[in-house]
Amino acid sequence: MRKMMKMMGDGLCFDGKAVLAPMVRVGTLPMRLLALDCGADIVYCEELIDIKMAQCKRVVNDVLETVDFVAPDERVMFRTCREEKSRVVFQMGTADPERALTVAKLVENDVAAVDVNMGCPKEYSTKGGMGSALLSDPEKIEAILSTLVNGISKPVTCKIRILPTLEDTVRLVKRIERTGVAAIAVHGRMKEERPRHPVHCDYIQAVAESVSIPVIANGGSSDIVKSFEDIETFRAATGASSVMIARAAMWNPSVFRQQGALSVERVMEDYIKYAVRYENNPFNTKYCLCQMLRDRVESPLGKRLHAAQTTEEICEVFGLTDFYMKTSAELKARKAALHTNGDQSETPKLEDDVITMPVRFERRDYPPQISPKMFLLEWSRKEKLDQPVYETEQRAQDRAFQSTVTAADKKYRSTLWEKSKKFAEQAAAVACLRALGLPEGRIGEESSGLVNKRKRDDNKCAPLNDNESATRKRHLSEVPQEAEEEVICRTKVVNGDCGPTTSEH
């Protein structure tokens, strides 16, 4: 019955649509929302690997008003929101029917459909038997798609590349159709071919004529699609139901705009605003902006963008600093309000003999040369206690770090794993200071008197008075030379949960 309902068109319709293609490092939330704003009917997320997604937890992010799927190392693997829920397709890389079903069930209530990538020719996908490697294993294709169609309530689709012969391609898509999928996207190139090779419209046309489900034509960005009007030209040339755009949309997502394309400058500004609003990874943001710049990436603007390391610095390059500061302040205020209204996510908990809190060290929240470890060390000295001792663990599989600090004869730890040993120790210090109700040196925090040796003044240190200078010299003689905040640390490796690169899938 479920298969029959899907074949009758229950759920997302794939007929007569303009679609944003799945693109690694491009198809994150800001790009998807921008494409929808410009007129795209359906947007695909970037390919996400089933092994990584299966370990994720679904987390409602009340601050950003998103749903996040978070890996054990606290990375957000997939972020979505209400605005795209009825039009976003989750694409996964998989070679295992049961694992695919596990992931599909995890995300099905937050997306409009689920797609299986069967076209990516990149090694990181094919070496696991995923992507275009599946094209040579039709039995596995059938098993994966049938399992998904019968196992979830949302439409299931797949995206393939064409096979060396037209006959083999048609034979495969007919077999795929019998699984009950709602649509099939066809990239009109063979797995060995690249964008410089012409797209095979005749293959896509033969597929469209051989099946009764919607066929989505893909691969026309270089040869045909350069403007909104070209989308219909490509659809007519292939006889497909819909058209999927990759590189043309990556360069300027307003290709979907019926009223005509916007300037790249306007599009980049709109993209950055979404990236700030939804706290997009700055390196992902920078990558997408570089793709939009294209041959101007070596221009003065491109070089300034390349040098930017944070979202704030990216905003500065494009004259959006005021927007960044305003939006960041709004998000911080919303977070504070949620905590005030009873959010107990950062309430200390006792786990065995360790007091834990889910806190993360964010370098941008502290002035230059000021850190939680420094504050904890100064507090310990003031109270005439032993200096803090940090014991750090590293997970073998994803190389993430977690640290436990012993201070005042008690142990404290953040439950979140960090990307470096230094950040893990700082997070442990944050957990300790917050549990004790002590200042930690955050920007905007009222002066505590614990650490007065260094003050922020336009990223420069103010001169020290005679008393401060004497105190500083005494501290430097007492603490290891590497840094004033350095304390006793131990590291061990532990087993843990596991966790590349742009291509169109």
Beta bridge partners of 393: 402, 492
The answer to whether 315 and 276 have CB atoms below 8 angstroms apart is yes
Is 504 within the bounds of a domain? no
The answer to whether 112 and 85 have CB atoms below 8 angstroms apart is yes
Domain span at residue 24? 2-262
Q: From CA 88, how far away is CA 244, in angstroms rounded?
A: 13
In this structure, the chain runs to a length of: 505
3-state class (DSSP) for residue 98: helix
The last residue of a domain, from among 318, 343, 368 = 343
Is 270 within the bounds of a domain? no
Q: Is 330 in the same domain as 435?
A: no
Which pLDDT value is given to residue 250? 98
Is 271 within the bounds of a domain? no
Is 309 within the bounds of a domain? yes
Beta bridge partners of 157: 115, 183
The last residue of a domain, from among 294, 319, 343 = 343
Q: Is 314 in the same domain as 362?
A: no
Is 372 within the bounds of a domain? yes
Q: Is 187 in the same domain as 245?
A: yes
Would you please indicate which residues are annotated as catalytic (active-site) residues?
120
The answer to whether 54 and 278 have CB atoms below 8 angstroms apart is no
Is 64 within the bounds of a domain? yes
CATH number at residue 187: 3.20.20.70
Which pLDDT value is given to residue 395? 85
Count other C-beta atoms under 10 Å from residue 54's C-beta.
17
Q: From CA 425, how far away is CA 412, in angstroms rounded?
A: 10
pLDDT mean for each 10 residues of the chain (505 residues) = 45 96 97 98 97 95 95 91 98 97 97 96 84 95 98 98 97 98 97 90 98 97 92 98 98 97 97 98 96 95 95 96 96 83 67 92 86 94 95 85 95 93 95 93 74 44 42 38 40 44 51
164 residue type, one letter: P
Q: Is 66 in the same domain as 20?
A: yes
Q: Is 241 in the same domain as 380?
A: no
Q: Is 76 in the same domain as 190?
A: yes
| H or E stretch at 7 | helix 2-7
103 residue type, one letter: V
Q: Is 32 in the same domain as 137?
A: yes
Is 500 within the bounds of a domain? no
Is 419 within the bounds of a domain? yes
At residue 101's C-alpha, the angle toward residues 96 and 105, to 5°, is 155
Q: Is 117 in the same domain as 237?
A: yes
Q: Is 322 in the same domain as 247?
A: no
Which pLDDT value is given to residue 397? 67
The answer to whether 93 and 126 have CB atoms below 8 angstroms apart is no
Contacts of 301 (CB under 8 A, 6+ apart): 293, 317
Which pLDDT value is given to residue 364? 82
| H or E stretch at 160 | strand 156-161
Q: From CA 104, how far away is CA 100, in angstroms rounded?
A: 6
3-state class (DSSP) for residue 57: strand
Which pLDDT value is given to residue 57? 93
Number of domains in the chain: 3
Nearest residue to 231 via CA among 159, 205, 221: 221
CA torsion through residues 470, 472, 475, 476, sign? negative
CATH number at residue 414: 3.30.160.20
Q: Is 119 in the same domain as 160?
A: yes
* pTM exceeds 0.95: no
At residue 431's C-alpha, the angle toward residues 427 and 434, to 5°, is 130
The last residue of a domain, from among 233, 262, 291 = 262
Q: Is 365 in the same domain as 402?
A: yes
Nearest residue to 82 via CA among 102, 111, 58, 107: 111
Nearest residue to 393 via CA among 487, 496, 486: 496
Q: Is 215 in the same domain as 102?
A: yes
